[in-house]
Amino acid sequence: MINQQINKLIENDKHNMIDFRRDLHRHPELPFEEVRTTNKIAQALDNIGIVYRRTEPTGIIAEITGGKAGKTILLRADIDALPVQELNDKIDYKSTIDGKMHACGHDSHTAMLLTAAKALYQIRDQLPGNVRLVFQPAEEIAMGAKAMVKQGVLENIDNVFGMHIWSQTPINKISCVEGPSFASADLLTIKFRGKGGHGSMPHDTVDAVMVASAFVMNVQSIVSREVDPLEPAVVTIGRMEVGTRFNVIAENAILEGTVRCFNTAVREKIVNAIKRYADQVAAMYRATADVDYVYGTLPVINENRSALLAQTVIQEAFGDDCLYQERPTTGGEDFSYYTENIPGAFALLGSGNPKKDTQWAHHHGCFNIDEDAMVKGAELYAQYAWAYLNQTKF
């Protein structure tokens, strides 16, 4: 009966949920600048009657206290937008801010979690435990989850659950795989220093172009020859700044890149290898190297029991055909900081629909979602919380 009640409450609130999402879409805010968004969420929670506290500098942690004693589950949505120019002129809720856009669907995450919260609040007397609602800033720069953890968001939490709208997954399909879901995402900057000089007299120089080029050509052998082929890994050098003029041999080169993998031991092996390659290549050409490696997000590893519970919820709420097995992605997600020490799962909510032009890649200027997916997303938030709090095998 409660499951049906949750379904009905969310179905009846569909239009308000879509209106809220479209309002956020018109007014995107970048990481840690989500002041208006935070205020809108606070106002919505006030209207429902849910208690909350603001986090610094933006974001909200809210709590629904159940009528019966039990565990506490955390439901998370991210709220920030991207520095992307929206290119979609077909919608009447296009971003009103030049160069800023909800190009990853966080506006829909926020609206879905608020709608789920409203439904859960209305059945709070029957909840055997508590539901913590997290509206997290700054996911796009992998700093928001860390900030929330420092401000106590995980205190007394027993399980965590989140989701991401996903344009690569077809509409009416939801995935929540066991094990790896998102990769770790790290940043690296490598500075090579040689000895500049005239382009006509290379023998008097140490050419930073040669050093940087040799490094880029050789660094891929870390993945092909040092990492177990059964362990996925990516090393990408995405930017190289070197040289100033056609007849000047460069003294300095700056390279920037990223490393992605699903295994922390593999991650450390790659880090050490990159440093070794940089030092050895530099030495070979009589240059020096400085490697700055920044650890970004951890890999998102869905705890098996939590993922299986989510799969059961998906099948029972939406039918067996809705359950989908999406392959892990080497994209990054700072939801990983919630699941580092607490069991939980992260689902992918299908929104890809060529008929509605919602198949564009995330972070693209034409990105949009099929809003019909939002009802399932909101219900999945609420149904997972209800299922977790009511089962005894955890």
Q: One of 78, 139, 186, 326 is an active-site residue; which one?
A: 139
**Residue partners of 301: CB distance under 8 A and separation at least 6:** 179, 180, 181, 262, 336, 339
Q: Locate tokens 């919820």: which residue?
A: 313
| Among 77, 184, 195, residue whose Cα is nearest residue 132 | 77
| Among 382, 388, 389, 387, residue whose Cα is nearest residue 120 | 382
63 phi/psi in degrees, rounded to 5: -140, 130
Establish whether 139 is a catalytic residue.
yes
Question: Beta strand pairing status for 159-170 and 68-78?
Answer: parallel
User: What tokens appear for 387 in the block?
Assistant: 């299922």
363: alpha, beta or left? (left if phi > 0; alpha if psi -120 to 50): left
Q: One of 80, 140, 326, 371 is an active-site residue; which one?
A: 80
Question: Beta strand pairing status for 248-249 and 344-352?
Answer: unpaired
Cα gap 49→38, rounded to integer Å: 16
Establish whether 13 is a catalytic residue.
no
User: What tokens appear for 163 in the block?
Assistant: 């989701």
**Residue partners of 158: CB distance under 8 A and separation at least 6:** 71, 72, 73, 342, 343, 394
SS (H, E, C) 204-216: HCECHHHHHHHHH
Question: 157-177 burial, b if ≥16 CB within 10 A, otherwise e?
Answer: bbbbbbbbbbbebbbbbbbbb
Q: Determine contact, residues 160/101, Cβ cutoff 8 Å.
A: no
Cα gap 123→116, rounded to integer Å: 11
Name the H helices within 220-303: 221-225, 264-284
Active site residues: 80, 139
